[in-house]
Structure 1
Amino acid sequence: MRFRRLVLSVLAVAAALVPAVPAQPAQAAPPPVRALTFNICGNVCRHGETAATSANIAYRIYHLRASVTMLQEVCYSQFLAVQARLAPLGYRATFAPATTGGHCDNYDKKHGRTFGVAIVARGTFASRVIYRLPTPYGAAPEGRVVLGATVRLTGRTVFVVTTHTTTSGPNLKKQLNVLRSWLAPIAATSPVIFGGDLNSQPQDNALDGFYNAFTEANRSRVSPLPTFIPIPRKIDYLFGSPGFLTPAGVARAYTGYSDHCMYLGVFR
């Protein structure tokens, strides 16, 4: 018993001599990701007009404090103007040509009257990919692409993807299946934001795979915010990978020049 008391007293003294380790401060959460998607209808609705259209889009991106913005139906000339306005404010942008817009400015020999999709980010691009979406069931009047970019934002890196699918029919279902098969495995292991005009409503079965693999910014599949104006309905989406991006709120804005609303989703 005496030996046991001696051992305990020695251990107590030794413990007292060990310097206290200061508690590590909790790591601050990265800033929320403010994701914006907008089909600007730059060819049909805006007839390719550049100055006023790009000025308004750049103004809204900046004042909405968008971390990443996904644009669809944007003429290349409009993209260049948005890019030029936002570059001095710390934004970077990338463009993917999809087809030719008859009203778009014939800005340069490389792109001509091209229009397509774009990503604008308040960060840097680590890489990007462009794929053409399949149209196996007859010739499509308009080409469709998907644009993805690995974006380094403050505190985190996100794979941002945008597209504008075909309007209807079997090609639409095929394109959505291809997108889901590509993106769902990536979203299971890393932060992904997938947004754009999917020409589908939330109740459509073709979107089941996206709602299973992602969390939509609006959360509600039953009564979400409409984003298409002529016939109020939701066809624009912002999907975030669960476990990495948690929806914190949504908003929409009418611009007066597009048949779509700007759709903003905040992810934490």
Structure 2
Amino acid sequence: MRRTYLTAAGIALGVALLTDVLRVWLPSIITIFGQAASTPAELMGGFALLWFVGAFAVVPLLRPLGPRGVALVAGIALAACRLGLLATDGGQAQLYLASAGLLAGLIWLAATAVTGVEPVPGLVLGLALGTATHAAVGTFDLTWRGNAIAWTVTAVLCLAFVALLPAVTNHTTESTPGPAAWFVAGPVLLLWTMVAGSPALANTAVSYARGEETGIAGPGPGSALPAVLTAVSVGLLAAGALLLRPTAAVAVAGLVTMVAGTVAFTLSWGSGLILAIPATALGLGLVLCATGFRTDRGDPAAGGRRRGFAAVGGMTVFAVAAVLYYASYDIGYPNEWVPPAVAAVVAFVAGRPPYPRMDVGRSWSWTAVPLAVVATFGAGLLMPGSVPAGGRAPAPGVVRVVAYNIRMGFGLDGRLDLAGLTAAIAAQRPDVVLLSEVDRAWLLNGGHDTLALLAERLGMPYRFAPAADAVWGDAVLTRLPVVYTATVRLRAVGAPTGAQALGVVLDADGAEVAVVSTHLQPPPDGGPVSQAHEVATFARGFAAGRPLVVGGDLNTQPGDAAFAAFTDAGLLDGFAANRPLPTSPADAPNEQIDHLLVSPEISVTEVVAPRTEASDHLPVAATLTVS
């Protein structure tokens, strides 16, 4: 193959741009089309799959239209949509421009597959490039930044991709890859962005490795551990895929490590993530190695159609598996099987014989692999870490508290609004912040470590506890010294999304105060009464006679049975003198579901629920004084 490094570079840039579009498109489905659970999950899934059906419809036309020309036009459209996303201000424009970019990317991928180019080197380098750039921006995507640097970097990547499009399609080959190599691109992209190549997950995994399930802070100021973990993952993927020869032993090793990694990801409650990431990366690299050398035989035209359908079919697996995994938190069914099932699909398609014994034939790979590792490590050093502890309460026993459901960081306009969240919280000059719906690595929301990003901007150390899975839950941010931390998982009792209670004992300048952050999840047929009783019992035992504060999105209103579970346990409504205090939805609040409840020795003053659309809830803030 002539000048294979240019072909690989062009495919790599296309994969990276398509990944960036997906990081915008996936949360847009939830926050703009679906308005975060106000639209049935089935309807959101149907809308998402519509764009993949459109790509399938185009595949039979690629040969008559000319696949090289279609790839060129679709590639330019992908780059234009990626660049155009920076100009949108959220809303419907963002949703449909991201959807158009996705469709263009799928058509580009299918048309490129029809031309017969070898996909594996470009796919691997594209995954590595996507991870490195995502780490370099601290997991806060360029689309959401929208500044001059974001425009410049995105424009350079898009122009480079467009310039290399002819090199990708006008290649010469000695053998044509089979459809299997193109089919696995979609499932591999899912497992990479969800598990093995997620800088946010690496950041969170280090948190768990340091603190296990209690007292979780972060990787520490200046810590290089997340960067090391991310770079190791990139190195294992690239070395396994590009530097080895395909054999049965490689395929079997890939199957075992990939399935083991995905199982560790889904079954661990955090502590297993640090092993799941490199294991999945190595497995993906090995199975790609076993796939990349399988050649196509038979009629060239029929082979081209097979490769085109395989490329779109693999990306459809990406979409279906992502919907199945994350929709479970709205509908309610076990989803632990989804990543291992995707791994099994990849292993089945990629790991079947024959395994031709042949040299890799890409001398530039021995330079590209270490460069990818070094670049990823350098980019990983830019990821946010934890904030040093410091600061004191304004007076002994006086604490300013904010409780806020941040909807994974997304405002009503569907954009990741770190600036709006930071402004809304910082304006209250809090000593303690209780956060609900905290996302630390969900691919559905773009793969951001929203907690670390927000804590860094507020200059407040954090404690995090998982609820739905290992990277979605609740948090407490505070400048006050932390004496003790504990968490407890709550029974689901029919509610799709999991829940927990995170307790933190703080030293308020000599007066210890127990704070419990939670987000109750009501079952489909009633209020969260059972969980309210569990939290009240846990909180009383955790406080052990100390002054107590329980707060968060409780999904219950004064007068409801769940609210009474707290008051019956001896807690007082901190906002009683300020009712009504509606907090949801943020643009027209009419429900009082965000609360602070306190023990009798705490007085509550300066209560506010400031208006902001940085989330679908309003924050609530109050000054607490221990008598």
TM-score (norm 2): 0.33
Matched, 1:81 2:453: yes
Q: Do the aligned partners of 2:527 and 2:555 also contact (CA within 8 Å) in 1?
A: no
Partner of 1:241: 599
CA distance in 2, matches of 1:262, 1:64: 10
1:68 maps to amino acid: V
Partner of 2:428: 64
Matched, 1:227 2:599: no
1:267 maps to amino acid: L
Instruction: Give the root-mean-square deviation of aligned CA atoms.
Output: 2.7
Q: Secondary structure at the match of 1:95?
A: strand
Partner of 1:105: none
Encode CA deviations 1:1-55: one digit per residue, 9 max, x unaligned: xxxxxxxxxxxxxxxxxxxxxxxxxxxx6252111100011267579965x42x3
Figure out how many residues of one structure are paired with residues of the other and give that number.
Answer: 220
Give the stretch that moved more between structures: 202-211 or 142-151.
Answer: 202-211
User: What is the Cα deviation at residue 145 of structure 1?
Assistant: 1.4
Partner of 2:517: 162
Encode CA deviations 1:56-83: one digit per residue, 9 max, x unaligned: 3334333311111100012121101012
User: What is the Cα deviation at residue 172 of structure 1?
Assistant: 1.6
User: What is the Cα deviation at residue 215 of structure 1?
Assistant: 2.0
User: What is the Cα deviation at residue 262 of structure 1?
Assistant: 0.7
Q: Secondary structure at the match of 1:253?
A: coil
Q: Secondary structure at the match of 2:408?
A: coil
* 1:1-268 alignment, distance < 5 Å: 30=396, 32-42=398-408, 50=416, 52-53=417-418, 55-76=419-440, 77-87=449-459, 91-99=460-468, 114-136=471-493, 138=494, 140-168=495-523, 169=525, 172-184=528-540, 189-212=545-568, 213-220=570-577, 223-229=579-585, 230=588, 232-243=590-601, 245-268=602-625
Gaps of 5+ in 2: 1-394, 441-448
2:453 maps to amino acid: A
User: What is the Cα deviation at residue 188 of structure 1?
Assistant: 7.8
CA distance in 2, matches of 1:163, 1:174: 14
Encode CA deviations 1:195-214: one digit per residue, 9 max, x unaligned: 01111110102222322412
CA distance in 1, matches of 2:498, 2:487: 13
Distance 1:125 1:37, change over 3 A: same
Partner of 1:108: none
CA distance in 2, matches of 1:63, 1:49: 21
CA distance in 2, matches of 1:121, 1:253: 20
Higher relative contact order (CA 8 A, sep 6+): 1
Distance 1:47 1:161, change over 3 A: farther
User: What is the Cα deviation at residue 150 of structure 1?
Assistant: 1.1
Distance 1:135 1:171, change over 3 A: farther
CA distance in 2, matches of 1:145, 1:186: 14
CA distance in 1, matches of 2:581, 2:412: 24
Q: Secondary structure at the match of 2:521?
A: coil
Identity %: 30
Q: Do the aligned partners of 2:420 and 2:614 also contact (CA within 8 Å) in 1?
A: no
CA distance in 2, matches of 1:120, 1:44: 19
CA distance in 2, matches of 1:47, 1:224: 26
CA distance in 1, matches of 2:415, 2:451: 11
User: What is the Cα deviation at residue 99 of structure 1?
Assistant: 2.1
Task: Kindly indicate which of the two structures has a greater share of residues assigned to strand.
Answer: 1
Distance 1:231 1:254, change over 3 A: closer
1:247 maps to amino acid: V
User: What is the Cα deviation at residue 94 of structure 1?
Assistant: 0.9
CA distance in 2, matches of 1:127, 1:188: 12
Q: Secondary structure at the match of 1:127?
A: strand
Distance 1:45 1:175, change over 3 A: same
Q: Do the aligned partners of 2:607 and 2:622 also contact (CA within 8 Å) in 1?
A: yes
CA distance in 1, matches of 2:478, 2:409: 23
Encode CA deviations 1:64-112: one digit per residue, 9 max, x unaligned: 111111000121211010122233xxx3211112225xxxxxxxxxx6x
CA distance in 2, matches of 1:181, 1:150: 16
Partner of 1:16: none
Encode CA deviations 1:225-268: one digit per residue, 9 max, x unaligned: 1111255020111011112x111231011221312111012111
The structure whose Rg is larger is 2
CA distance in 1, matches of 2:439, 2:482: 21
Encode CA deviations 1:151-186: one digit per residue, 9 max, x unaligned: 122342211111111134457211111112222456
Q: Secondary structure at the match of 2:457?
A: helix
Distance 1:92 1:48, change over 3 A: farther
2:591 maps to amino acid: R
CA distance in 2, matches of 1:265, 1:165: 21
User: What is the Cα deviation at residue 191 of structure 1?
Assistant: 0.9
Kindly report structure 1 stretches of 4+ aligned residues shifted beyond 6 Å. Answer: none
Distance 1:156 1:178, change over 3 A: same
